[in-house]
Amino acid sequence: MTGRSDCIFCRIAAGAIPATIVREDEHTIAFRDLDPKAPLHVLVIPRGHIASINDIVDDDGPVLGALLLAARDVARSEGVAEAGYRLVVNTGAAAHQTVPHVHVHVLGGRDMSWPPG
């Protein structure tokens, strides 16, 4: 996994595009979504480029685990962990994945409807 110069999320991870960073570690970076769909809407991405869940390989397990741990930490630090929050991972065009870089949406701060689609 390496960054790609044509990927907006890789450029954010590299610091080439500004973002409101709320958390980062060696494997992940989390930042506020520019078009929030809930009072809390943070994106958690791997620092290295993985286009979609369809592109993960067995060796990506530690990075994918780090994504979920980072999402949990964002929910805790943003104060929505106890009330509840939603994690969303869109894969492919039919699911409305608009940026081809794996990312987890952390949504909270309001009641979430069901079903989500």
* Domain locations in the chain as residue ranges: 8-53+69-108
Cβ 89 vs Cβ 104: under 8 Å: yes
CATH architecture of 8-53+69-108: 2-Layer Sandwich (3.30)
Mean pLDDT over each residue of the chain, to the nearest integer: 95
Residue pLDDT, tens place only, 80-103: 999 999 999 999 999 999 999 999
Residue pLDDT, tens place only, 50-78: 999 999 999 999 999 999 999 999 999 99
Q: Which of the following is catalytic: 27, 49, 101, 103?
A: 103
* 0.85 surpassed by pTM: yes
Query: What is the pLDDT at residue 90?
Result: 97
Residue 1 clears pLDDT 60, i.e. is over it = no
User: Is 103 marked active-site?
Assistant: yes
Cβ 109 vs Cβ 73: under 8 Å: no
